[in-house]
Structure 1
Amino acid sequence: MTIVKIENVRVLDPIAKTDQVQTVYIEQGKFVAETADVTETIDGQGKWLMPTMVDLCARLREPGQQQHGTLKSEGRAARENGILHVFTPPDSKPIVQDNGALIHGLVEKAMLDGGIYLEVIGAQTQGLKGNQPANMAGLKKGGCSAVSNANAPFADDDVVLRTLEYAAGLGMTVVFYAEEPQIAKDGCVHEGFIASRQGLPMIPALAETVAIAKYLLMVEATKVRAHFGLLSCGASVELIRIAKEKGLPVTCDVAMHQLHLTDALIDGFNSLAHVRPPLRSEQDKQLLRQGLKDGVIDVICTHHEPLSSSAKLAPFAETLPGFTAFDTYVPFGIQLIDEGLFTPLEWVEKVTLSAAKVAHMIERWKDESGWVLVDPALQWEVAKESILSQGKNTPLLGQNVKGKVIKVFIS
């Protein structure tokens, strides 16, 4: 039996809605009553204690893309950075997320190899080909509570409608990563001055907003529960605001990096700044922040996408998009607090309880979550050696950041 005593630590509890300095005792990831049977004592002065986080969008790359990351490497990176529940989109290669039986095996492997609770978003169409609805009843039986077509296009809007009706009948959530392919075409960066100057193919904000507007009309018609992931445009926030005011069953999230980084980073063809949806303008960034502050945006996710070094070596437009994001998630959160967007407790709620609510897993999260000890003042350099993820693909390489998870208490 291991009981850890943490003295004078600032406990940020979004369930009790309390923020106070106290001494706590933890056994197997849970608070216990004061006892003399302490095996370890930690000085928590200046530290924060918060629940383990829930990430609504991360790609772990296994199965099929182990050159970029594995359930073991990315599970460990998530866990050590305080993220215990991880939702992954259904676009692994090969695609196994349209088979309920295979999904069950993937979830077990994630716990055995990486020590995390993997939450698989099922495929919305067979093989993500966009032609026929997937066997959603089988996916639900296999443990999926949500489906998505990830970034794959639909053959036509009739297929979308049929899948939404199917999901609504089963009480499943449909997750949209909204982008209109006829507008985005072969683009790779935000439509703006820097992209124009560099001659890079562009993805206008309209590619996202047109898709969101269309899908919202379908949500209204079918009454399906919908979640819009990875918002990147200020206009998207306004569309979601209107939908919520109308009472539609809609939630949304934003990737942490969209709250901090802009398309200025692509200057000089910096392929480490290549991500999809792309980094947008400063105005978009500020509107996303305001949408989060106002509660229109429900959750912050990592949008973790580890990549091997070779994936970023081609000319910009030919490189694979994605950031490794588990390791910088907490420092970016601390920065939001330092810049006055949130109090510490408000930020904690956005990455824990709010995410569990959106995922309709509050009771499960309460049962399975542990606690995370954070040093909000610890300064460290983002370097290949300090990143736990197998992927080192971040535009923050070489920068000094503040805030780090220093210990995780999980059963």
Structure 2
Amino acid sequence: MADLFASPDDAAAGGAPDTAPLADRLRPRTLGDVVGQEHLTGPDGAIGRMVAAGRLSSIIFWGPPGTGKTTISRLLAHAVGMRFEPISAVFSGVADLKKVFAAAKDHARHGEKTLLFVDEIHRFNRAQQDSFLPFVENGTVTLVGATTENPSFELNAALLSRAQVLILRRLDAAALEQLLDRAEGLMERPLPLDPAAREALLASADGDGRFLLNQVETLYAIDIPEPLDPAGLSALLHRRVAVYDKDREGHYNLISALHKSLRGSDPQAALYYLARMLTAGEEPLYVLRRLVRFATEDIGLADPQAVVQCLAAKDAYDFLGSPEGELAIVQACLYCATAPKSNAAYMAMKASFRSARETGSLMPPMNIVNAPTKLMKQVGYGKNYQYDHDAAEGFSGANYWPEEMEAQTFYAPTDRGFEARVAERMAYWDRLRAERGTG
């Protein structure tokens, strides 16, 4: 598998044959040729320091596709004089691992250390991951795993404790431009694109160098008499589908970004993350559930209509379906983003639930408990209950708390939106309690 790519001079000097894919012909021959990961491969980076010391610890490379995980691992083994043994968790099982470990032991007896590169290491189950531990601990292999998924969720804690997690970055425009320059140098002619189409090609790669070079190879393989503009490029090439797994970290990152943009009252950013999710294939009803949750958690009584708007959007989407119903989701998103915010109800829920757990089974005061039988009335159930509708101003100010418990304040409304009016009412009732001596 080709990841990142060498200069054309290196590729020509004993690299892949001319019939190989372009990405293979531009494969780096040294760590210095790798683009976009200088924070790791540079002199002050983790990899740079390991190479300088001539000692390699076990590593988990975590990063998007096409950012150099396989290539860096191969070059790292060469740089520290180790044998490179690659396997893929997609195609390998316990029997394959046993063979690898046995071979590594044999080579170790002859003084040759093994770098075991495991592509897609998160695909191994927990038991298979545990099988690495004794061989890593006794030095039979130095493990370098590659994953596109968050290691915190996908890898055993025991394995993570024995490896350093290094994060590879999505290739930025400058790194991708370097790859285009190297490709043009190798092919000895410029890409048949105008400047705007060139920018569109870089954007279409979505940070994936391998995908970019595959697109470049297609452009060179076709006879294109005149440079293409963005429209012509789009008609010729397929745009890369955004990386988005509904049960993986990208899913949770985007929903978190949407929620926090809404909380921060930024309707433009909120629409962007909403669009990212929906265009990538997220279930609209999932997004609607998150909007309803947001309306109750972060808006609450500051604008009681927010949850109504979100539920109405759900009904509208159910009625219209896609794509017409997605406008209702957008409207609910904009309503939530521009509504006054309050988490007072959310905080009140947490505080009241915590108090309920701590106080156990305290009896309510006798004046407000139910008294359906004569005996219960005789022993004081419901005695001295004050019917608020008969009290002055419809407010008795009676005590409703258990005798063994002081009155608590769980809900503290803000001065924002409708909640400001709620705060005024509550302050008014507190004033009446104080005046009547019942607070």
| TM-score normalised according to structure 2 size | 0.24
Q: Which has the larger share of helix?
A: 2
Greater RCO (CA < 8 Å, at least 6 residues apart): 1
